[in-house]
Amino acid sequence: MLGNIISLLVLLALAVVFAWLTRRAWTSRRGLVKWFGAVLAGLLTVISAATLVLALVGFYKLGQRHPNPIPTIQVARTSAQVARGEQLAHICANCHASNSQLPLSGTDFVAKFGLPPIGTFYSPNLTPGGTIDDWSDGEVIRAIREGIHKDGRSLLIMPAENYRHLSDDDAQSIVAYLRSQPPTGGPTPPNSFNVLGALFINLVDWRTAQPPVRQVSAPPPGTPAYGKYMVNILGCQDCHGAQLQGKLETGQPGPPPGPNLTQIVPQWTEDQFMTFFNTGKLPGGGTVPLLTLPNGSTGPRMPWTEVRASTTDDELKAMYTYLHSLPPIEGPAQ
Ligand code: HEC
Ligand code: HEC
């Protein structure tokens, strides 16, 4: 906080000094000094003033509050809920654990994914030893489905646009599981962005806050609609495009772009689909290549192990039925 205020004051001081130098140069009688000096100092004035303004806009964005109501619910924590929640929690492990495995004890997100030095940024420890122990069940459900911190600010990066589709039952199951994990490690440090982070948030907007989520129930199990439900909460769209039509490399930091599922899965049999998720083997031979993260951990480029761990056989089959029925779309697109 103090560091950020000092950095902003330094930017302000630079802008003032450069503006003063511009004026000095402009009033000089020597032609070279006048033109060269004024242009150079003028440019530096504009750059430092623009940086200051963008940083202020960034801090404003990061501090914005969302008045979404907090659900008033006390999760029962039945053993069925805990088991279902543990299954679904595998979706969270890539981000909320340094080795991408349960328990969700949190990790230094900047180090794990090699982000620029934007400040202190952890995916918090979600076990009872961590940061959400004094949050109400409703606050945790709001964080998951609406991407909002207990204090009302937007969480960053949390894929709440996927989780807003989670049914009330599934969201409660996740909370039941989080509360019943063994406490692992202590609270991760509170997140705070520095000036670089504030500038960065103008380039890549990672805020995830969603409009309030009302009651959600899952479609009947085994139907294509249920398959679509799982596809939505697992976030296949994040990498395979909004319409699953495939994505191209954008050069921006983010997950690896995946190919066009609307053209690929309709050509697969259910067996081939199940084999892919059980073993990572593609029907034409070959397996999914590995991705090495900056923190040294490796995982498949297509996170099939994570998808497999967070679904039952019946759910995977419903996902197949849904994807198999999609009309082919031209792709990939940006
Ligand atoms: C793509 C990465 C990613 C995934 C997947 C993800 N999270 Fe997060 N989550 C984060 C990050 C990063 C933060 C911290 C955001 C911040 O402080 O702005 C966070 C914050 C949270 C918080 C708020 C905790 C706190 O103390 O501030 C909760 C609760 C949470 N996540 C639950 C979950 C659950 C449950 C899942 C799985 C269903 C999940 N997350 C999946 C990245 C992720
Ligand atoms: C983190 C990004 C990411 C997510 C999330 C993701 N995929 Fe993928 N997927 C990929 C990438 C990248 C590939 C290509 C892998 C490679 O490099 O060969 C791929 C490949 C595939 C393939 C094989 C296609 C082929 O012929 O190569 C299928 C099928 C598939 N994904 C289905 C899914 C489904 C279903 C989901 C959601 C449950 C999903 N993916 C979620 C990134 C992702």
From the CB of 141, is ligand 1 less than 6 Å away? no
Structure confidence by residue, pLDDT tens digits, 242-267 = 999 999 988 777 789 999 999 999 99
User: What pLDDT sits at residue 331?
Assistant: 82
- Contact yes or no for 124/143 (Cβ under 8 A): no
Task: Judge whether residue 13 has pLDDT over 70.
Answer: yes
Query: Taking 80 as the threshold, does the pLDDT of residue 170 lie above it?
Result: yes
Euclidean distance between CA atoms 236 and 243, whole angstroms: 10
For a pocket test of ligand 2, which of 302, 315, 324 has the largest count of ligand atoms closer than 8 A to its C-beta?
302
pLDDT score of 211? 98
pLDDT, average across residues 288-295: 88
- What is the pLDDT at residue 110? 95
The pLDDT, as a whole number, for residue 333 is: 65
Cα–Cα distance between 74 and 268 in angstroms, integer? Answer: 43
- 259 CA → ligand 2 middle, Å: 7
Is residue 134's pLDDT more than 70?
Answer: yes
Q: Is the pLDDT of residue 188 over 80?
A: yes
Which one of the ligands is nearest to 124 CA?
A: 1
For 140, how many CA atoms within 13 A lie in the half-sphere containing its CB? Answer: 26
**Ligand 1: residue whose CA is nearest its atom 27:** 149
CA of 242 to the centre of ligand 2 (A): 13
Query: CA 260 to CA 333: how far, in whole Å?
Result: 9
Does 241 or 293 have the greater pLDDT score? 241
pLDDT, tens only, 194-234: 999 999 999 999 999 999 999 999 999 999 999 999 999 99
**Mean pLDDT of all residues belonging to the chain:** 95
Q: Is the pLDDT of residue 334 over 70?
A: no
Question: Considering every ligand atom, which ligand is closest to the CA of 137?
Answer: 1
Q: Does residue 139 carry a pLDDT above 80?
A: yes
C-alpha distances in Å from residue 236, one per residue of 61, 186, 261, 276: 28, 32, 9, 15
**pLDDT value of position 31:** 85
Of 217, 173, 183, nearest in space to 77 by CA: 173
Pocket-forming residues, ligand 2, beta carbon under 6 Å: 231, 234-236, 238-240, 255-256, 258-259, 261, 264-265, 276, 282, 288-289, 301-303, 307, 319
CA 136, 142, 148, 153 torsion-angle sign:
negative
Ligand 2, atom 2: nearest CA belongs to which residue? 239
Q: Does the CA dihedral 293-297-301-305 come out positive or negative? A: negative
Nearest to 227 by CA among 153, 325, 303, 159: 325
Chain-centre distance for alpha carbon 153: 15
C-beta of 274 in contact with ligand 1 (< 6 A):
no
Write down the pLDDT at residue 297.
Answer: 84
* Per-residue pLDDT reduced to its tens digit, 46-92: 999 999 999 999 999 999 999 999 999 999 999 999 999 999 999 99
CB atoms within 10 A of CB 120: 15
- Report the C-alpha gap between 119 and 110 in whole angstroms: 8
- Taking residues 272-289, report their average pLDDT: 95
In percent, how much of the chain has pLDDT > 70? 99
- How far apart are the CA of 246 and the centre of ligand 2, in A? 9
Q: 294 vs 19, which has greater pLDDT?
A: 19
Q: Which of these ranges, 108-112, 175-179, 294-298, has the smallest mean pLDDT?
A: 294-298
Q: Measuring from atom 14 of ligand 2, which residue has the nearest CA?
A: 258
CB 334 within 8 A of CB 248: yes
Gap from CA of 88 to ligand 1 centroid (Å) = 14
As a whole number of angstroms, the distance between CA 68 and CA 63 comes to 15
